[in-house]
Chain A
Amino acid sequence: MLREDVDSTTQRTLTRTAQLLGSLRLDGPLLAGLAAIAVYGQFVLYSTSGGDWESVLRGSVRLALGAALMLALGQVRPGFLRRLTPWLYVTGLVLLIVVDAIGYIGKGAQRWLDLGFIRFQPSELMKLAVPMTCAWILRERPLPPDPRTLGLLAGVILVPTALTIVQPDLGTGLLILMGGLIVVLLAGLQIRYIVTLALGGVAAAVIGWSFLHDYQRQRVLTFLDPQTDPLGSGYHIIQSIIAIGSGGIFGKGYLQGSQGQLEFLPERTTDFVFAVVGEELGLVGALVLIGLYVFVVLRAIFLASQMRDTFARLLSGSLAATFFVYVFINAGMVSGLLPVVGVPLPLVSYGGTSMVTLLAGFGMLMSLYANRKLAA
C-alpha cells in the first residue's frame, strides 16, 4: 500500500518532469548528461582556481548564459534555422576576413572583434555556420553527394578553415574542418572517396615533408612529439602527463593535486583541466567524465537518427560527433596521445566562448529533434 503510494508518486513526478521538458522541447536524458558534465566542471573549477568562489560564480554565469541560449534555440522552429543558415555563413565569412585583415595590418595575431561590450570571435560562429551550411547545401540534393556538390562543399569548408588557421588558431580551424567534414561523411560519402581523401592526405604530407628545410622538419617533429623538447614546448605536456600518472586509480584527493595546486601544470583551468581531473580524482574520476561525454554524444547521435529531415539529421549528427572531437583532441593532447592543439574540454574548461557555442548547438539539436516529424 505504502510502497505503491511511493511508486506512484515517483511515477507522477517523472511524468510531470517529462511533460515539462516536452513542452520546453528538451530531451531529458541529453539535458541530464549535459547538466552532469557542467556540474562536474564547476566542481573541478573550484579546485583549479585555488578554491576561488568568484571563479566558480563567473563560470556559473557563463554556463547559465549558455543554458539560456540553448533553451531559446530549443524553441526556434527548424524552418527559421534553415533560412538563417546562408546569412549566418556569409556574415561569419565576412567577419572572419575583417578579423584577419585587422590582424595583418596590425601585425599581430587577432581572433576577435571588440564590440565594446563583448569580444566576439567570428571563428566560433563558423563552428556552427559551417556544418549548418553543409547540411543546408545537401538538404535537397540526392545523397550520396555527387562530385560537383563535393567541390562546392570543399570550398564552403576549407575557406573558413584556412582563414581561421592563419589567425593563427589551429584548434578552432580543426574543429570547423571536422564540423563540415562530418556532415559530408554522414551524408554517405562513398568509401572510395574516403580512401582517396585519406591517401591524398598521406601523399600530401610526404611530398610536403620533402620540401621542408631541416629546421622546419624539426619544428614539425617537436609539434608532433613535444617530449623531445622537455624545456620548451614539451614542458607543459610532460608536467601534464606527470599529473595524470601520479593520480593513480583513485587520485590524490580533491584539492590535493600537487602538480595542479603548485602550478607545475600550465593552463590548468583551461586547456589542461583534464590533467587536474586525472591527478586529483584519478582514473575513476577521469572515466566518469569520459563516460558522461560518451553518453551525451551517443544520445545526440541517436536523436539525430530519429529525425526525418536531411538538414536536421545531418546538422544534428555533425554537432554530436564534433562534440566528441573536442573531447578526444583535448584528452588526447593532455595525456600525451596527440600533439598540443588549443582545444578546450567542452563544458569543463574555464572561459572562452566555446561553451556558449556548444550549448547553442545542443539547443538547435533539441529543437530539430522536437520537430523531427516535420520536414525542416
Chain B
Amino acid sequence: MSTRGRIKDFWREQRIFEQRALAASIIVSALAVVLFGRLIWLQVVKYDEYTDLAQGNRVRIEPQPAPRGIIYDRNGEILAENKPAYQLELVPEEVPNLDATLKGLVDIGLIDEEDRDDVRRTIRSRRPFDSVPIRLFLNDDDMARFAVNRHDFPGVDIRTRLARSYPHGETAVHALGYVGSISASDLARIDREQYAGSSTIGKVGVEAAFEDVLRGRNGRREIMVNARGRSVDKAGGLEAIRDTIPGEPGSDLMLTLDLEVQRVAEDLVSNQRAAIVALDPNNGDVLALVSRPGFDPNMFARGLTRTEFRALNENPDRPLFNRALRGTYPPGSTIKPVVALAGLTYGVTEPLAPHYCVGFYSLPGSSHRFRDWKPKGHGAIDLRSAIAQSCDTYFYEMSSRLGVRRLHDFLAEFGLGEPTGIDIGGEKAGILPSPEWKQQAFRKRSDQVWFPGETVIFSIGQGYMTSTPIQLAHMTAILATRGQNFQPRLVRALRDPETQKVTELAPKALPRPNAGKLEDWDRVVDGMLAVMQGGTASRAAAGAPYTIAGKTGTAQVFTVAQNKRYNEAAISERLRDHAWFVAFAPAEAPKIAIAVIVENGRSGSGTAAPIARTIMDAYLLRKFPTVRRENATAPAPNSDVSEE
C-alpha cells in the first residue's frame, strides 16, 4: 500500500530502524549514567548530611524531670516535698469527640466550666498521641466520681506524677513561696532547655530564689520515633536504643525558720493583717517570717482555677502580699533608740540632763506646735525615760540639734532605706528621707525644699519615712548585739540528696554601724529595758524569766489636724493606727530580735508587744500557748494605753 506514490523500501526502513534503535540504546545508557551520577551525589558526596537528617528524624529526646529539692526547717521538719499526685490526663487521638468529653467532665465536676476553653486550647496545642494533663491533684472523691463514669470517657485516664506539696499548708508561705505553672513571662527569661519536661517553676520566696539549686538537672532519654512522632520499640529490623542520660536531683535546703515558732507567730495574728519577723541577731537567721493573711501554696502547685485566683487576688486583705518584706509603714517610735544613739554619738544630747516636756515642741521662731502623744506632757525627763515613755518632744528637740543630714546617715547605717538583702526576692527599700531624696521624689520645685519641721517628725519615724518589718527586725538585731550586723537569711545549708553531704552557708556579716562607744549602746539598751519595766510595754514583759528590751511604736494612717484630738471611736477600723513593737531578748545575751506590726492594731504596747512576748517564750523557753489554730485570737486591743 502506498500513499502519494511513495513505495515502501524495506531495506531502507530496516536501516533507519537500526539507527534509531542504536540511538535509543545510547540514550537509555546515558540516562542510566545520569541516575548513577545523582545517586553518587546523594549517597557518597552528601552522605554525612543526609545521615544526620535521618538520625534527627528517628531519634527524639525525651526529658526525665529531676525531683525537686526538699525544704526543711532548722530542726529538720519538712516544709516542702514531692508527693505522688493523681491527675486526669487525656490522649487527644483516643478521644472520639473532644467537645463532648470536656462537657461530660464539666458535668461531673472534674473541670471548671470557666477553665474549659483553656483546657481545650492546651489539648489542641499538643500532639495527638501525647497524654495531656487536664486536671491536677484529684482527691479521693474526684477519683471515685471519675471511676464510676470512666466508660463515658475513652482516652481519659488517671495518672500519677510527682508534685510539689507543702505539708503545713499556709504556714510560712511568704517565706517558702510556691511553685506554679511556667508562665509566658517565665518562659521569656529562663533557659527553655533546662526546663524541658518540667511543668512548674518556683514563683516567689525560697522556691523562686533558690530555683536553680532546687531544680536539679533534668535527665534525658533518647527514644526512637516514627514519622508521627510516636515512640516505637521495634520497626522492621530496627530496635530502639533507649539511651538514658540520668538527671541530677535538686539540692535539699535547710532553712533558718523554726517551724514551731513560726506556727506560734502565725496563730497569734491569724485574724489580722499583720507581719512578724524574728531574727537570730548573732547570724541573721530568720526564725520566723509571718505575713497575714496568707494562702495555701498547694493551690498554686496544683494549679488555681480562675475563680480561686480571682478570690485571692481581689481579697481586700491582700493575702498574696508579703507584708514582711514588701509592706512599707511609717516606723514611728520604734526608731527612737537608734535616734537616741545618734544623739549620743554626735554628742548633741546629755543623757542624764533632764529635758522638760510640756506636751508640745515648737521650732525657734515658729508657732507651729509639734505635739507629744501625751497632751499634758511628760515633765522633766532624761534619755532613758524618754525611750521608756516614748516622749516625743525629747526627740523633737534633739533632732533640731542633730540635723537631717546626720540623722539620715546614721539611720542608713542600721539598714533603713535599703533592702536588707535577705536571700529571697521582692523586698522593698522603704523610704529614708533626706533633702536629696526630696529633690528626686517631687517634681514641683516648691515641694523639693526640705523644711526644718520635716526633720522634727522624721526623728520619731513619721512624715515621709517608711520601713518594712524585716528592716526593723534587722535594725533591732543590730541594737541587740551592740553593732553586729548580719544580713538576714532564710537558707542556712544545702544538702546533696544522694550523698547527704551538707554544705553550710556562712552568715554574711555587714559593716558595723559607725556609732558611739559601748556605753552609749548600753544607755540606749537600758532605755529599751525600761520600756518593758515600767515603760510603755511593761505589761507584756510581766513574769518573763529573761530580760526583754523593746520599743513600741504607732504608725499613723490618719493625720490628726492641729488642735484636734485623736478620737478613736469616730474613725473606721481601716483608718486606725498600725501597732508596732520591736524587741530582743535576753537583753544581756540576745538570741532573738523581733519586729511585729499589726495593721490598724492601734496600740504597740497593747496589741503588738504581747505577740512578741509569746514568740519569745516559744523560742527561748520552748513554751507554747495551749490554744492553737482552732481558737486563735489575738490579744484584745488595749485602748487605755496609747502613745503619741
Contact = CB atoms under 8 A, between A and B. Distances in A.
A321 B518 CA distance: 111
A185 interface: yes
Interface in A247-264: 247-249, 253-264
Interface stretch (B5-13, B257-265, B269-277, B418-426): B5-13
A242 interface: yes
Contacts of B16: 143-144, 187-188
B2 interface: yes
A142 interface: yes
B47 interface: yes
B47 A245 contact: yes
A141 B228 contact: no
Contact of B35 (A142, A246, A332): A332
A193 B39 CA distance: 34
B238 interface: yes
Contacts of A363: none
Interface in A116-174: 140-144, 146, 148-149
B36 A186 contact: no
25 contacts: A51-B236, A146-B4, A182-B24, A186-B24, A245-B43, A245-B46, A245-B49, A253-B237, A258-B224, A258-B238, A261-B237, A262-B58, A262-B224, A283-B44, A290-B32, A298-B25, A308-B10, A310-B13, A320-B24, A321-B24, A321-B28, A328-B35, A332-B35, A332-B38, A336-B42
B43 A186 contact: no
Contacts of A259: 54, 57-58
Contacts of B9: 142
Contacts, number: 180
If over half of B's interface residues share one DSSP class (helix, strand or loop), that class is named, otherwise mixed; here it is: helix
A69 interface: no
B25 A264 contact: no
A44 B428 CA distance: 73
Contacts of A336: 38, 42
Given A188-B20, A263-B228, A249 B1 contact: no
B238 A244 contact: no
Contact of B39 (A182, A188, A257, A283): A283
A355 interface: no
Contacts of B29: 294, 298
Given A294-B29, A317-B20, A146 B49 contact: no
Given A264-B57, A282-B43, 20 more contacts: A142-B3, A142-B8, A143-B16, A241-B42, A242-B50, A253-B237, A254-B237, A255-B237, A256-B236, A258-B54, A258-B238, A259-B54, A262-B57, A263-B235, A290-B36, A294-B32, A297-B28, A301-B25, A305-B18, A317-B24
A286 B17 contact: no
Given A142-B8, A249-B44, A262-B225, A290 B236 contact: no
Nearest to B45: A245
A262 B235 contact: yes
Contacts of A298: 25, 28-29
B499 to A, nearest CB: 41
Contacts of A310: 13
A159 B57 CA distance: 45
8 tightest Cβ-Cβ pairs between the two chains A and B: A245-B50, A255-B237, A261-B236, A246-B54, A188-B16, A261-B235, A142-B6, A258-B58
A360 interface: no
A290 B38 CA distance: 13
A335 B28 CA distance: 18
Contacts of A247: 43
Interface in B492-535: none
A89 interface: no
B2 to A, nearest CB: 7
B51 interface: yes
Interface in B46-97: 46-47, 49-51, 53-55, 57-58
Contacts of A301: 21, 24-25, 28
